[in-house]
A and B are shown apart, each in its own frame.
Chain A
Amino acid sequence: MFDFKHAPILLDIGHLSVDYVSRDQPPAHAVVDVSFVLREGEILGLVGESGCGKTTLMLSLMRLLPAAGRIVDGQVNFVGRDLLSLSEAEMTDVRWKDIAIIFQGAMNALNPVRTIGDQIAEVIVRHNLAGNKNVLDQRVSELLELVGIGANRKNQYPHQYSGGMRQRAMIAMALACAPQVVIADEPTTALDVMIQAQILELLMKLRQKLGLAVILVTHDLGVVAEICDSVLVMYGGVTAEYADVNTIYNHPQHPYTQQLLGAFPDLSRPRDELIAIPGYPPRLDALPPGCRFAPRCSAAFGRCHYQQPALHRVDGFHVASCHLVESR
């Protein structure tokens, strides 16, 4: 198996914090002190429930935050370059050429009146990588073949594609400028399990063939277990736990990770009862004073309710933000 731990580092995110500001309210801390690294060929699973900050985190490292979003602290390094200090023009060049992002539901944002091939070609032309028309044509065919779509379907329109094919076309588009990192935000959420399996298989093939590193944003713990090398679990804007995939599933230290796994249906153990996590994820404008998970945590004790836990190292790069880990 591919050992990502010794591959060169592509992305190095350190202590990143993002606020959403508004005129009449205190800032909402959407992401607080999140750190992780992404290595060549690594597939990192970014897991969390809606509102936990995972999409905000991805938007901030692409510098695509909405107007109210502010990166208040931290660094984003991409192979030695500090992305946060680049000019907007330089950053435009990084997007697509170095890091590409497939937004959630992007396959439904394809322009219905233009052909798929035309829309992929546009990305290449915009980044001045086109050369002449024949080269461009050749490249579009190549990209489509790479994601398992026959080049003969290049002149078809989005409505002639199935959902799975549209998602493949989005992946082809993300690969158009040969990036080293692809961020995929819930790329299989709206798809059937068989189509999902096809897309996951494709991502693994691309990793192998192109050395592509992928950040897979998802709430599906099954998908993460199937294809990811490492996992970052977020809760209420903070890192709950970060480790390699085996550790997360077999030796989770944070109660949230443990309870999330207990609540997730596992076909290989249908006899086990699902244990729901009581309550609901916190709203960003009403965060609890202590640990953000404390109100729902079955292991919470006095300190958890007033003091925020720091990120404690378990071993290697395995970290968890829980008072219980510190006292162990």
Chain B
Amino acid sequence: MTGASILEVRHLRKLFPVKGAGIWRAADKSVHAVDDVSFELGRGEVLALVGESGCGKSTLALTLMGLETATEGTVLFDGQDITHLQGQAMKEMRRHIQMVFQDPYESLNPLITVGELVAEPLVVHRLAQSREERASRVRQALEDAGLKPAETFVNRFPHELSGGQRQRVVIAGALVLEPIILLADEPVSMLDVSIRAEILNLLAELRARRGISILFITHDLGTAAHFADRVAVMYLGRIVEMGPMRQVLANPAHPYARALLSVIPVPNPRQRRERIILEGDPPNPIDLPPGCRFHPRCPIAQPVCLEQDPALNEVSPGHQAACLLL
């Protein structure tokens, strides 16, 4: 980790109540989307949050942004509790934590020019005093996002841009507020392979030059491996392994992390490896299995795994895993 943490998440829980059928049945069940998650994000750090769809990684990001209200737990931003901020205070906080979404085709209004799209956050937050200041900040943000020279882009519409350029516009829209944290939710999964690398390199450069902290949310460990410092692997709403990226790649401890790593295709036919393929799908997050939530699919589960719910334990300095058999 680099420096003190800018974001600290403690025992965060987000449950979505499920309505029972008929008027007499109370809503007594819940989807455990995020279930007791704790982690820290260091200043200038890139933390990859990896997991399959439905593991709760996107809900976690929305909860951090205050777009979903946390059921339990706290989120500290720079030491300040932001879990239940409202109104002006919430708006102020969001300036510092910006989000980049997955789909640059859907997240840009097709009727607004690139210049206006990027200027909008400044207007919302009343950050630019004059027209000139606004224009210069927009230009700076576009160039920082790699859209150079900015003048050739400000008057264009999203449909005139390629997928990679659109995602750069989305990133510029986040950068214009000079955020401290960027939450990037699958920022490259909609892009072509040759374009992905430049967006990943751009994010790496933003961290290096501006010291932005990045929470990189993805189902593809491969894309995160190249620039994340640390990785947290999520399964059914819980972090099951967390540690320095290189260490987790080299020595994954949790059986789920081991399986996940083994099935990520490596672009080298000479390295066809033994894959640990887990059968079926993750269980329903409404009726969680007793004990360790991974035990029904775990290739090495023991009787004890049906009884105890494992917590994260240190396996080596800075590297933790939640497995009873370690």
Contacts and interface: CB of A to CB of B under 8 A. Distances in A.
Nearest to B194: A277
A94 B242 CA distance: 52
A267 B194 contact: no
A192 B223 contact: no
Interface string A181-218: 00000000000111111100100000000000000000
Q: Among the interface residues A198, A245, A246, which one has the most CB atoms of the partner chain B within 10 A?
A: A198
A167 to B, nearest CB: 12
Contact of A270 (B193, B201, B226): B226
Interface residues of B, number: 41
A132 interface: no
A179 interface: no
B195 A193 contact: no
Interface stretch (A79-87, A118-126, A220-228): A220-228
B278 interface: yes
Contact of A49 (B194, B200, B222, B261): B194
A223 B268 contact: no
A2 interface: no
B197 interface: yes
B277 interface: yes
A222 B222 contact: yes
Contact of B264 (A162, A193, A277): A193
A164 interface: yes
A193 B260 contact: yes
A222 B219 contact: no
Contacts of B267: 221-222, 224-225, 249, 261, 264, 266
B164 interface: yes
Given A193-B52, A263-B193, A263-B197, A226 B272 contact: yes
B266 A268 contact: yes
A225 B281 contact: no
A102 interface: no
Interface string B254-288: 00000111011111111110010111010000000
A49 B193 contact: yes
Contact of B269 (A49, A249, A270): A249
A260 B194 contact: yes
Contacts of A288: none
A196 B263 contact: yes
Nearest to A200: B265
B226 A273 contact: yes
B291 to A, nearest CB: 21
A101 to B, nearest CB: 23
Interface in A216-264: 219-226, 228, 245-246, 249-250, 259-261, 263-264
A281 interface: yes
A222 B275 contact: no
Interface string A257-295: 001110111111010111111101100000000000000
A276 B194 contact: yes
A120 B37 CA distance: 43
B197 A277 contact: yes
A219 B188 CA distance: 14
B196 interface: yes
A187 to B, nearest CB: 14
Contacts of A263: 193-194, 196-197
Nearest to B164: A280
Contacts of B225: 265, 267, 270
Given A249-B269, A277-B197, A162 B222 contact: no
Contact of B249 (A196, A198, A270, A274): A270
Interface of A: 49-50, 162, 164-165, 192-198, 201, 219-226, 228, 245-246, 249-250, 259-261, 263-268, 270, 272-278, 280-281
13 contacts: A49-B192, A50-B192, A194-B52, A194-B277, A245-B269, A249-B270, A250-B270, A265-B226, A267-B222, A270-B226, A276-B197, A277-B197, A280-B164
Closest 10 CB pairs of A and B: A222-B265, A276-B198, A197-B263, A276-B197, A274-B197, A263-B197, A277-B194, A192-B52, A265-B222, A270-B225
